[in-house]
Amino acid sequence: MFLLRAVCCDWSDSIKSVWCTIVKDEMLDQVHSLDLLYEKETTAKLLEFKLKYLVSYAQLMRNYFLHMNFTDLCAELKATDDLRARQLMVISANVVGPNQIEFPESLEAMTEEILQFSEDFLCSEEFKTRFNDIC
| Positive/negative CA dihedral, 80, 84, 90, 91 | negative
| Positive/negative CA dihedral, 13, 18, 20, 23 | negative
Per-residue pLDDT of the chain (135 residues; tens, 9 = 90+): 445 556 677 777 777 777 778 878 888 888 888 888 889 998 888 888 877 777 787 787 777 777 777 778 778 887 887 878 888 888 888 777 777 777 777 777 777 888 888 888 888 888 888 877 776
Up-side HSE of residue 39: CA atoms within 13 Å toward CB?
6
CB atoms within 10 A of CB 101: 15
**pTM: predicted TM-score of the whole model, two decimal places:** 0.46
